[in-house]
Structure 1
């Protein structure tokens, strides 16, 4: 069973829903030529898409354009439905870093046809995920740096302060649709700088003071 781990506390949660926000940073919206949505754009990944630190990314044969998207991940520790924004962070058990892998060519074709993105976002190994730091040790999730390198070269370097929808607002919004349960993971969107990865690449995603994650592309 795939689990999310708060390393310093020795706690493990079976991963439930992986709920993701798309188009949550203005510069990322611009770089992909998308429109700014009025409400958060939500999609999901299965727990089977998760690999841990040091894991291997396998790009499916049906894609020739896989992109990295480094993100702040929030682990839900307390069940909630219709959670008010002012209480939202009380439901977070920990914070980590994730890489939302996207088959950009497959996604583009699906979007043209008005179809769901599942096979572009949910394939096996599509969600490299770090262990989590206790939420109490993160004073402000809207004041964190997100940094990603590929083969030692910086590709993404942004701040959670640039989110269109804050972590509080995301949890509030999502809990109005889905009951959030312990073990659910929320990916909060990616800053600008996404680009393609290929076999042989080495990725390092880091939120300083929170989490670090390494992954290689097979």
Structure 2
């Protein structure tokens, strides 16, 4: 007999490329500003924020247009899937903790984020809504190696909006893992969304998104209608 007061919600998970197994999602950490932008902001201490594991959905078919926003924005990112946890991980050993990689969208209610920033308030509500982290199937390191170079891109209705390369990241995957593990113990199943290139812009219902990370995964989805 279970000691739970009610049945636990299902474990969030993602498919694995080339396998019938699934990758269980623990937590989702996100990195802000990890590519050069034209405003001149350079490398500084990485900014981390979180999304709940329940925000992770498979990147396929259609994504919902969320409530309470008029500025629903896309951010294409390399996603790192942690396979073994740890604290105070040296940079030289950080990649040993990576199980695989994926491509993901950090979807954002930009107007909510802007208002919260102006008021000096937390902007979790702009990032942590249902379905705010569509992610492709996990590409295992054992199958494809480490994602250290290649294009990162996003198009909306066949018009390119974002393009960069993994080599242009201000903080490497190893540096991100090492830095994050100094403040929190990483767990198997954690995902790290590693930041987005310049070109973030708003989406409208019916828009077609094609995006991806070279050698890792590709996203082809449509934006659904606003809730009535």
- TM-score, normalised with respect to structure 1: 0.92
Measured against aligned partners, the alpha-carbon deviations of 1:59-101 in whole angstroms (never above 9, x if no partner) come to 3331100110000000000111111000001100001100001
Q: Quick one: which of 12, 17, 22 aligns to 1:7?
A: 17
* Long gaps (5+) in structure 1: none
Q: Residues 68 and 34 (structure 1 numbering): CA distance in 2 closer, same or farther, change over 3 Å? A: farther
* More off after superposition, 130-139 vs 197-206: 130-139
Q: Quick one: which of 35, 46, 55 aligns to 1:25?
A: 35
Which residue is equivalent to 2:52?
Answer: 46
Residue 114 of structure 1 pairs with residue 120 of structure 2 = yes
Deviation at 1:102, TM superposition (A): 1.1
Which residue is equivalent to 2:6?
Answer: none
* Long gaps (5+) in structure 2: 1-10
Measured against aligned partners, the alpha-carbon deviations of 1:137-176 in whole angstroms (never above 9, x if no partner) come to 4445331211111122221111011111110000001111
Which residue is equivalent to 2:95?
Answer: 89
Deviation at 1:22, TM superposition (A): 0.2
Measured against aligned partners, the alpha-carbon deviations of 1:9-46 in whole angstroms (never above 9, x if no partner) come to 4332221110000011121xx3xx58546310000011
Which residue is equivalent to 1:168?
Answer: 174
User: Residue 106 of structure 2 contacts residue 134 of structure 2 at CA under 8 Å; is this kept in 1?
Assistant: yes
Structure-to-structure mapping, 1:68-107, within 5 angstroms: 68-107=74-113
- TM-score, normalised with respect to structure 2: 0.88
Structure-to-structure mapping, 1:148-163, within 5 angstroms: 148-163=154-169
Q: Residues 59 and 36 (structure 1 numbering): CA distance in 2 closer, same or farther, change over 3 Å? A: farther
Give the number of equivalent residue pairs: 214
Q: Quick one: which of 140, 143, 154 aligns to 2:149?
A: 143
Deviation at 1:122, TM superposition (A): 0.7
SS of aligned partner of 2:187: coil
Q: Which has the higher helix share?
A: 1
User: Residue 91 of structure 2 contacts residue 177 of structure 2 at CA under 8 Å; is this kept in 1?
Assistant: yes
Structure-to-structure mapping, 1:124-135, within 5 angstroms: 124-135=130-141
User: Residue 147 of structure 2 contacts residue 216 of structure 2 at CA under 8 Å; is this kept in 1?
Assistant: no
Aligned partners of 2:111, 2:40: CA distance in 1, in Å?
Answer: 15
